[in-house]
Amino acid sequence: MCAGVPDAELMVLERAITDLHVEPRGAIVDEGEPALHMFNVTAGTVKIYKLLPDGRRQIIGFLMAGDFLGLAVRQSYAYSAEAVTQVRLCRFPRKKLEELFERYPMMEKRLLGLAATELAVAQDLMLLLGRKTAKERLASFLLMLSDRAKRLGHTSNPVALPMSRTDIADYLGLTTETVSRAFTQLKNMKMIRLETTSQALLLDPDALRAITEGGA
Query: Are 74 and 29 in contact, with CB atoms under 8 Å apart?
Result: no
Out of its own copies, DNA, none, what residue 27 binds, judged by CB under 5 to 8 A for its kind, is: none
With binding defined as CB under 7 A, does residue 171 bind DNA?
no
**Any bridge partners for residue 48, and if so which?**
61, 81
Measure the CA–CA gap between 122 and 48, rounded to whole angstroms: 12
| CB closer to its own copies, 1 vs 121 | 121
Out of DNA, its own copies, none, what residue 176 binds, judged by CB under 5 to 8 A for its kind, is: DNA
**Any bridge partners for residue 29, and if so which?**
81
- What b-and-e string marks burial along 30-53, b requiring 16 or more CB atoms within 10 Å of the CB? eeeeebebbbbbbebbbbbbeeee
Piece of the chain touching DNA by CB under 7 A; list 68-76, 97-105, 117-125, 174-182 = 174-182
Shortest CB 51 distance to DNA, Å: 15
Out of DNA, its own copies, none, what residue 157 binds, judged by CB under 5 to 8 A for its kind, is: none
With binding defined as CB under 7 A, does residue 134 bind DNA?
yes
Measure the CA–CA gap between 206 and 27, rounded to whole angstroms: 37
Q: Interface with DNA by CB under 7 A: which residues?
A: 133-135, 164-166, 173-181, 183-184, 194, 196-198
